[in-house]
Amino acid sequence: MAGYEIRSSSSKKGKGLFATKHYNEGDVILEEDPLVSCQFAWNAAYRYLACDHCMRPIETPEQNVRRLSCKPDIVLPHSNCYETNLENITTCDQCGVLYCCEGCKQQAYVTYHRSLCYDVSDVQHPVMVLLEAWKQMHYPPETTSIMLLVRILAYIEQSPEPPAAVAKIKQFCHRTVNEDAELVHKLLGEQFSDQLITLRELTSNVISGDHAKEFLTPEGFCTLMALIGTNGQGIGTSPLAMWVNNVLELTMSDDERQQLDLFIDKLYQYVEKESGTFLNTEGSGLYQLQSASNHSCEPNAESSFPYGNHRIQLKALRAIAPGEEICISYLDECALQRSRHSRQKELAQNYLFVCWCERCNAQASQPDCTSEEDMSDEEIDADD
């Protein structure tokens, strides 16, 4: 029996995820596979090799860092800290995309791939044209992918019950038309209107159908873009990052630890010089349960990807009582450490809400500018 439920939340949050039993610190609250997920376009361009369905890495950490740094002689110590099973890699018979196993290949075909399979060598294919247009509009670090939107449409069209699939997607849509437009403007930048028209036309060339057509209208497409921008959960599956996390857990002397830290720093420098800033997030996915978790600047739960693929795990950061809302942070660790003013500014810009969690309420008496970064922002705004 599930130890959680989705129901109405307090204030203006709408719905939220609530505990129906007691959780201790470290307890797993839920695990979930996404409705759909996909690798970021620039990650693929940077040659991050991953299963096209679940994003499980299909190379070793050593292979990963050698390619990304263009240094074929790099040898990683403690190679036993990362288990790699590359024996079951397979490809789509038609387009040749890679899967970590036959199961992922079949699941992808049944869910969305049948509608999207194409010749990857054909640079004029509608999928390739759409991807190139997206990459020119949305440079790294990416926060979502146009292909997540395309896979949502394919998921609807391939569903055995398309109306039910449409209803499931609409559960994620709860803003006004103006709010959707504001979110997309933030996502795409100053050329928002023209870019949105271009993306909608190119997406319509990739996939269309009776059940997906309502999302290909100007209003429907804007809503879907806003959906993937705010509900798309980043998925981190990099083999190098997982190797780093594992070796940092090893017991060793202070000297060994210092040498290892220096070695890891040097690896990231090599990668950044050759391939750009290292991308710890492989792609994004759309999760029904996890996306119901509202934000708090003092979260009681956090999401992770312990299986090295797109399966998400929500774990308690502290004890959670029955009836208590389960909240995660929409901000990264660095942003969480900044002032209330800074946190609220970022949340308002990216998610269109003002946070009034317990921490924000407790800091309500703080001035609107409490950090050097914020002061710089205010001075810039004043000069405009």
Counted residue by residue, the chain has a size of 384
Which carries the bigger pLDDT value, residue 67 or residue 135?
Answer: 135
24-74 residue pLDDT tens: 999 999 999 999 999 999 888 877 789 999 999 888 889 888 988 889 999
Give percent of the chain above pLDDT 70: 92
Residue 313: count of CB within 10 angstroms of its CB:
16
Q: In this model, does residue 116 exceed pLDDT 90?
A: yes
CB 300 within 8 A of CB 326: yes
Sign of CA dihedral 359, 365, 371, 373: positive
Q: Is the pLDDT of residue 235 over 70?
A: yes
User: What residues contact 39, with CB distance under 8 A and at least 6 apart?
Assistant: 48, 50, 52, 55, 145, 147, 282, 283
Ranges 20-29, 116-125, 191-200, 272-281, most confident: 20-29
Kindly report the average pLDDT of the chain as a whole number: 87
Average pLDDT of the residues in 274-302: 84
Q: Are 148 and 52 in contact (CB under 8 A)?
A: no
Q: Give the whole-number percent of the chain exceeding pLDDT 90.
A: 51
Task: Tell me the domain boundaries of the chain.
Answer: 52-234, 340-384
Separation between Cα atoms, residue 142 and residue 378, nearest integer Å: 26
Looking at residues 208-226, what average pLDDT do you find? 93
User: Nearest Cα to 323, choosing from 1, 32, 8?
Assistant: 8
For residue 141, cis peptide bond before it (omega within 30 degrees of 0): yes
- pLDDT value of residue 380: 38
pLDDT-derived band at 280 (thresholds 50, 70, 90) equals low
Strand partners, 326: 17
Mapping DSSP onto H, E and C, the string for the chain reads CCCEEEEECCCCCCEEEEECCCECCCCEEEEECCCEEEECHHHHHCCCCECCCCCCECCCHHHHHHHHHCCCCCCCCCHHHCCCCCCCCEECCCCCCEECCHHHHHHHHHHHHHHHCCCCCCCCCHHHHHHHHHHHHCCCCCCCCHHHHHHHHHHHHHCCCHHHHHHHHHCCCCCCHHHHHHHHHHHHCCCHHHHHHHHHHHHHHHCCCCCCHHHCCHHHHHHHHHHHHHHEEEECCCHHHHHHHHHCCCCCCHHHHHHHHHHHHHHHHHHHHHHCCCCCCCEEEECCCHHHCEECCCCCEEEECCCCCCCEEEEECCCECCCCEEEECCCCHHHHCCCHHHHHHHHHHHHCCCCCCHHHHHCCCCCCCCCHHHHHHHHHHHHC
pLDDT of residue 20: 96
Please, what sign has the CA dihedral across residues 343, 346, 351, 354? positive
Determine the Cα–Cα distance for residues 80 and 261; give it in Å rounded to an integer. 18
pLDDT digits (tens, 9 = 90+) for 325-380: 999 998 877 888 888 888 888 887 777 777 888 888 888 777 766 455 554 444 43
Number of Cβ atoms within 10 Å of the Cβ of 72: 8
pLDDT band at 230 (very low <50, low <70, confident <90, very high): confident
CA distance linking residue 332 with residue 186, whole number of Å: 18
